[in-house]
Structure 1
């Protein structure tokens, strides 16, 4: 009797279970959401754009499966200038300064991987780095005499959100102005920039935490090939508009460049390569305003074995500023003053325009931008004081401007145009 009562119940149970299973199999399966990282969304910090010419908001990017996102950009720009009182003729194999020139200022491209543990940055091409009060060669001559067609190339390993290490050819940690024209408020670099190294080779450690960031590097200073410089930089972001920092470095050893050809002495000047440098800088950036004052001190010690017959120091200050009247037009300016220790005519160590000399400069640069295209003009004036004068009858040149080296002022008119992408 019991067995007969259980049989219908068991059959009903099996039928019910089978119906439920069939319903489950027929029902659509809802996938579990899986987070997929967005491609080509990294924040690019290189190359640094410090002026009214801005980095592309949509840089070219492609994804390499299993490796990551690769970003590509570049700058194709040209410039023309005319100037008074160009420098005396250069010794071979260096070319001579010119009163006027039309040339490319950048024929460069860069490629980078900017996220993940392993990153890299490579910048290649031809470039000009015009500077006030300094001889200005053609673009391809400068590319050859300075850092080759591969000025920047380094790899970087990111340990975590705070620490990273990088090595190769890198922009210097020193100074306020960047190397290439499109990166800056002005077309020409300033007088203080002439005391600083630009690109160096070595290893750099970076740390950041909140408003603090710091870097320390062992490098070859003025592209000497000898890793003997120790450089560092510390910045603190007071708020979204105000940043303060200190940076500097020194040669811990001695570098003899006198037995090298003039070609390499152009990139690696004897006095600056064996010097120390210290900068204090501040930047205000808010709305249409960019204001960046900074102070600089440099020093080179006497070293008879290297041909440095007297020690010397320089002191200088500069203020760079820009105001954007509209989204398409901004006006930038720079004022500098720099002086060197010593008594005029007393020695051969010249970090500026001879012992005891001083210099001031004024630059104004209006810039028009239209999407990725820009055009800008520039007027600059450099005035020298207490230079060491030469005597052509005796075969000596002064330490100033002009073919005899006895001129004390230089005016330069420039225009630059091109695109960045």
Structure 2
């Protein structure tokens, strides 16, 4: 049967449609749900190993201001080593001298951090004492390292989150360079590696960040090796291939010259002359899937000749490392690191030493089993460093002529 629409029926339909539209307009619109308080993802401190970030950090919500997160690390370590350096370190300001000892029991972290990570205005502050043990280098007490490196306030910066993609931050920040983080609990191993020694750790400056899709890009103007002079340009680019694979490049260089030789003793310790006036380039790849974390990376550094500030010969370093960890279960993981680094130059006639004299090279092997129980962890470590073609007096031991060092460490504590 055909249906015929009369003018009356069409008018009725129009009236019904009008009623429906009016009812729809009158109906209350759903209000977007407010973000759940204290559920933000924290990016500091970054954890790169079996010790994981606290999934439920302490958080306080302040009305009109936002969520404030509080965390920290209370950890201690003990070590013994062969062929320690025998060069004393005369500390400034009348503090008793310290030295690289054959064994030591000490704190590795007495730290707390406070941060705000939501809204357009954010901040991060980390304070306390810390030790940053590094292979092939002198190691001093945590309190002396804190005093001579980055003070009891190593990190303090503010951030403006402009939109979902762009942000700008400034203050005292972790570097953009490298594949290992400053503090022990952040890493696969207790000791930092040989390549880490060529990289700056904490610097002052301003940093711009952009992130969209698989891409993350950051550029910064900083003071490099904590020199107090904003003369370094650094950058990092990361591309996430998929959920398991990430590749990145990072580096920087000093666009000016820093005469670290005329600075105070304190800054000479944190600001080595050659590294402060160098350039550095790293390329790294990370595979993280299931129980595996594997990060190989390559590093190149170069320092140009400048007799005005005491650099009488150009020199470069080339190095590579593989860091890896396998988690057997939620409580036990085995981590390791293998790295090799070499320096250009003639060990008989060269004058610029970035390693153990011109023309020297070094190999290191590190093994670190780690037990975790919630926020508590216990781990042991064995590390061996082998030197080649050293300059007399630049190696290990009392006379600086030993070419190997074994280090045994234990670290325990908890993060919160």
Alignment TM-score > 0.5, same fold: yes
Aligned with residue 413 of structure 1, among 392, 408, 416: 408
Whole-angstrom CA distance in 2 between matches of 1:401 and 1:46: 36
Aligned partners of 1:345 and 1:354 also within 8 Å: no
Aligned partners of 1:310 and 1:348 also within 8 Å: yes
Aligned partners of 1:309 and 1:347 also within 8 Å: no
Q: Any idea what SS the aligned residue of 1:258 has? A: helix
1:110-142, CA deviations, whole angstroms, 9 ceiling, x for partnerless residues?
A: 000011101100000000000000000000000
Aligned to 1:80: 78
Aligned to 1:63: 61
Whole-angstrom CA distance in 1 between matches of 2:229 and 2:34: 46
Whole-angstrom CA distance in 2 between matches of 1:226 and 1:347: 29
Whole-angstrom CA distance in 1 between matches of 2:177 and 2:48: 15
Q: Between Structure 1 and Structure 2, whose CA radius of gyration is higher? A: 1
Structure 2: gaps spanning 5 or more residues: 1-26, 92-96
1:35-84, CA deviations, whole angstroms, 9 ceiling, x for partnerless residues?
A: 33311111111100010100001000011111000000000000000000
1:118-175, CA deviations, whole angstroms, 9 ceiling, x for partnerless residues?
A: 1100000000000000000000000000000000000000111110000000000000
Tell me the matched-pair count: 384
Aligned to 1:400: 395
Aligned with residue 103 of structure 1, among 95, 106, 111: 106
Aligned to 2:23: none
Whole-angstrom CA distance in 2 between matches of 1:180 and 1:361: 20
* TM-score with structure 1 setting the length: 0.90
Whole-angstrom CA distance in 2 between matches of 1:230 and 1:39: 37
Aligned to 2:315: 312
* TM-score with structure 2 setting the length: 0.91
Calculate the aligned-residue CA RMSD, in Å. Answer: 1.1
Aligned partners of 1:157 and 1:165 also within 8 Å: yes
Aligned with residue 296 of structure 2, among 293, 298, 320: 293
Whole-angstrom CA distance in 1 between matches of 2:107 and 2:269: 20
Q: Any idea what SS the aligned residue of 2:143 has? A: helix
Aligned to 1:53: 51
Whole-angstrom CA distance in 1 between matches of 2:295 and 2:39: 30
The structural deviation recorded for 1:31 is: 8.6
Aligned with residue 263 of structure 2, among 260, 263, 285: 260
Aligned with residue 208 of structure 1, among 207, 211, 232: 211
Question: Which deviates the most, 316-325 or 344-353?
Answer: 344-353
Aligned with residue 326 of structure 2, among 305, 310, 323: 323
Whole-angstrom CA distance in 2 between matches of 1:55 and 1:160: 26
- Pair 1:153-2:156 in alignment: yes
Aligned to 2:34: 36
Aligned to 1:26: none
Aligned partners of 1:229 and 1:249 also within 8 Å: yes
Whole-angstrom CA distance in 2 between matches of 1:309 and 1:31: 77
Q: Any idea what SS the aligned residue of 1:185 has? A: coil
